[in-house]
Structure 1
Amino acid sequence: MMEERANLVHMMKLSIKVLLQSALSLGRSLDADHAPLQQFFVVMEHCLKHGLKVKKSFIGQNKSFFGPLELVEKLCPEATDIATSVRNLPELKTAAGRGRAWLYLALMQKKLADYLKVLIDSKHLLSEFYEPDALMMEEEGMVIVGLLVGLNVLDANLCLKGEDLDSQVGVIDFSLYLKDVQDLDGGKEHERITDVLDQKNYVEELNRHLSCTVGDLQTKIDGLEKTNSKLQEELSAATDRICSLQEEQQQLREQNELIRQRSEKSVEITKQDTKVELETYKQTRQGLDEMYSDVWKQLKEERRVRAELEKELELQVGMKTEMEIAMKLLEKDTHEKQDTLVALRQQLEEVKAINLQMFHKVQNAESSLQQKSEAITSFEEKTNQVMSSMKQMEESSSLEKELKSEKEQRQALQQELQHEKDTSSLLRAELQQVEGLEKELRELQDEKAELQKVCDEQEQALQEMGLHLSQSKLKMEDIKEVNKALKGHTWLKDDEATHCKQCEKEFSISRRKHHCRNCGHIFCNTCSSNELALPSYPRPVRVCDGCHTLLLQRCSSTGS
């Protein structure tokens, strides 16, 4: 097995050497009819078949090198195009033909060395297809990958249509390499050694560039992962803020329900009080109607006033129901806060106007009570006169009966006065309740104003968070450009700076961080509002005030 591996490596060296020499003579462009290229694919097929395990199936034994080549599609996503195009070729019917087509396409894409390197690095997967002493499992496989890197210089134009890849015979033609030995004996050995050294230097330079690009890509990936972690943290903070806002909204809804229940209770209490007052008032009015017609008229007027008061109470109940409807609208239309607040203000103004009307009507009722008290005093004067007449007319019994009746009437009038005083006290209590309702309305207005302020602040905070997220995306693009531009300057991270370097003001949501594209330090917007065209940027970019003045001085000195 060791001798076979050594022989295959030597044959690969000879085939690549002859292929490169013929390509230099043809201008580095080859086609499928080129004999050294065909011999290269034959040698490559022998290398891939070395130590390949035999798989048994129902049809028979299968030993094809296309099985390990299919692993490249899983290990390297860039090779999916080659695998799909090979499977879609209708002319290919065997696994060997598909493997040869795969090698043709990989060479045309100049990715043959890269794909085989990825395949050799994953030896735990190759152990399913190769023996432990196979060429692809030992160090000779990496040697062949290094030799294949030199073929990236060639441009191959290969057409797979019409090619009979299934029935090709993989036999190595040694005549090409024997001619090459004769040429070496002819005196061109020195030139060929120099060509080989040049090729080796080219391969080493190419490997160095590839390692540099891999390092740069790794640093970029690390930076992107950090920025992604920051964005995830900001998103989690935003979700926490939204949850807190939802909890506050739920608390506000509970408070609104409590206020609505209190208003319902107060309305029921006022209704019961009015019913009791009406019953007592009717009872008193029945006794008074039987006594005097004048008093009957006054009682009619009082009934009319009472009806007006009942209407006013019904208006108050209607206003209470309107307040409940307004509170329900507030719960449903949280997103339309401004419109509902305007409607509530209008309703509160109407309630104020109704309360003023109630106050004026209560004053009118008090004036009517004063008139009644004056009438009662006049009745008392009349009773005094009757008493004087009774003193004068003590002798007659008829006068005594009249005096008794007058006394009874006086007592009845005193009872009426007492009832009227009670009604006046009840009206005053109702006035106090109205004043309490006005105070509750004022408190509701204050709570609504505070809620509106909190909602406005929350909306501003959400808008600022959206701006911050969009600005963080812009920062990612800026960082990509800055990684290309900044070579000699140190690019300061966002976490390392909490204050502006020039004005030393602390950064916040409104005062964002900006990098100077010349020195790499972090400034605020006012201290880095200038833009200049730098050698590393094709268009004008952000520069701090200090760098702006320095660059302008340099430009003026160089221009002078």
Structure 2
Amino acid sequence: MAVERANLLNMAKLSIKGLIESALSFGRTLDSDYPPLQQFFVVMEHCLKHGLKVKKSFLGYNKSLWGPLELVEKLCPEAGEIAASVRDLPGLKTPLGRARAWLRLALMQKRLADYLRCLITRKDLLSEFYESSAVMLEEEGAVIVGLLVGLNVIDANLCVKGEDLDTQVSGRLFTHRTLNGQIAAILDQKNYVEELNRQLNSSVQGLQGRVDSLEKSNSKLIEELAIAKNNIIKLQEENHQLRSENSVIVMKAQQRLEVRCGDVDVELNTYKQSRQGLDEMYNEARRQLREECQLRQDVENELVVQVSMKQEMEMAMKLLEKDIHEKQDTLIGLRHQLDEVKAINVEMYQKILQEAEKDRSQAEDGMRKFKQHFASKVDGVLKQITQREKQMLQIETDLKIEREWRQTLQNDLEKEQKTVLQLRTEAQQIIGLKKEFHRLQDENRQLKGVCEEQEKALEELGYKLSESKLKIEDIKEANKALQGGQVWLKDKDATHCKLCDKEFSISRRKHHCRNCGEIFCNACSDNELPLPASPKPVRVCDTCHALLLQRCSSTAT
């Protein structure tokens, strides 16, 4: 009984929700031919019949809804008008037809929820008509009555007079009515099962839609992973570029160091006696040291930017993993919901079979009684039995269709399991990408070690430059003592070569001519001649070299 109450509550929720949504979208007054409205009345009839006691009368056993609904007239005087109009209807011959007419009139008045609420509050009166575990006496009845309040937004215009609301044929003997009542109950159960299957189909379609949305989100995650792979490849290329740039910087620094060492040796060997103009060399070496420090700072800034980009990539990977875990949890929840739907279908199928067997046994007992008491009407009863057998065959075909539908549901479940396996493989691929990301982190640490070694090499270069600075200061002091009378041009006053007009740079250094005192590049001052101030050959520019050679030739003649 508890399972039946839960199933009826779910069916009432679905039918009321579907009726309200379809009526709001329909946009006009509903009539009796509207399918959702017919389904709603079928579900309400089953809810009111649940747990209804069978009463014995002089005609036999009676199980009617009109008894409890008549009580509403006593509890709520406003319902007296509906009860009077139902009694005055000429086409109604059975209590079940009157109950159906009462439900339709109460819905048109928009007072169905109020009337049933007055009824369920008097459980002492309802206990005469219902069993103790019926829907109307339990909490499910109060929930259904609360849901009926939403039907007040619907405008219904139902023609009760023209409809045949009686499912039992009057005027015949008791056995005919009981058999027809049993067949009507079987047909009502069939309609209930069809309504339940339709609702389950809609729920399965909703679940399928959610699965499709999850598949779309998974495809988006795959695209994001591809983008992450491309970013990782770009980072690798940037690492390779940084390595090449660092190697080029190291080579340039070594070449500069070799050039400087050679220049210092040449200057020390050639200018030990002259010792002139070494202040400019000191300033040049100091400027070059500043440039090297600036390059080192730029390399450190680039490394900091790379480290921050790596941290952002790690956060993005963690967020992707979290999203994948959440999607897996939702898939597991969907699978549990499908299992519950399948269990409900199996229970309803078993219940329908049991009720069909009971109805069949009751029909056979009725046939035996009918043959014993009324042998003259055997032919008519045989015809009715054949009709019932056809109906039973039709019910069996419907059951076969339901089995095939359950088989399709199982196939859909297998497809969803395959999709779950695909998601697991994609999660493994993500783990592989995470390992590759850790490997890139290790390579970044190695690059940091290489950069630290280069920094140490630059520090050693600065130490050597400081030693050369001390030596240059010594040479400067000695040069002041030996400096001649000519005026030397300062280093800061010359930016271009005096002769070729080329700009000085790190590779094109400044050199003083020992004769005229002007500043030239190495190509324009690579000649050496002895001067009066120095007996050994010293550097002179090309112009002074030509003039001195001309003087020497003229004096020789």
- Please indicate the TM-score interval, normalised by the length of the shorter structure: 0.3 to 0.5
Structure having greater relative contact order (Cα 8 Å, sep ≥ 6): 2
Normalising by structure 1, report the TM-score: 0.33
Query: TM-score scaled by structure 2?
Result: 0.33
